[in-house]
Amino acid sequence: MSDAQRLGLIGYFTLAMQQRLAKDASLCPTVEQEIALGQMSARAWENYQKVAQVSQNVAVDLPEEMKQYLGLTVQLEERLRPTDWYERLVKSYVTIGAMADFNHSLTIGLSPEIQPQLAEVSWGCGQEEWAVPLITQACATQVTVPARLSLWGRRVLGDVRSTMRQAIVGYPELSGQGAEDIPEEIKARHRARMERAGLKA
């Protein structure tokens, strides 16, 4: 995968994270949560602008490189619709976490003259640290909540994996072992992320 293709995919997933955070901000139950998510959405937009600037510096047309991925994340919105705020929270927790991990793995493969410019970007924008206490608090309210949200998280990851498989078709260097799949380290980080929130992967 070329630097231009990697930047296009990084840009696409970064924009997808920004849009998800903005949507969550418009639907959350408290003003404090709306403010927090709005700030995260702004940071995600700053990340996108950083990718755009780096792309411009190396003569990469970022929107053009992103076009091939247009609509890739639509299924994440359409196939699994949260029934309450906590399912929406877990959906974003899993989705943004996996996309942030994937962006990190894509960044590592960039050319030496480009990689350092994006190496320190916080792709997750603090959503994980913010969401964990909310999820664990929800799990403590009723004995059935952890199992329900764990199952939901597994379903969400299934869709995320499907989306990422489509993105990496033809690029075995980005795949896990065996059939084209997300890298093993992303799966491991997902399991650890679920455990931190008191959920089962």
Which pTM does this prediction carry? 0.89
To 10 degrees, the CA torsion angle through 6, 190, 169, 177? 110
Instruction: Please check whether residue 201 lies inside any domain of the structure.
Output: no
pLDDT at position 108 over 50: yes
Provide the CATH number for the domain around residue 181.
1.20.1260.10
Q: Between residues 166 and 117, which one has the greater pLDDT?
A: 117
Rounded Cα–Cα distance for residues 46 and 52 (Å): 10
Highest mean pLDDT (candidates 13-17, 69-73, 160-164, 181-185): 13-17
| Residue 61 resides in a domain | yes
In angstroms, rounded to a whole number, what is the distance separating the alpha carbons of residues 171 and 6? 11
When divided into structural domains, the chain yields a total of 1
Domain of residue 24 covers: 3-196
Beta strands in the chain (DSSP E): none
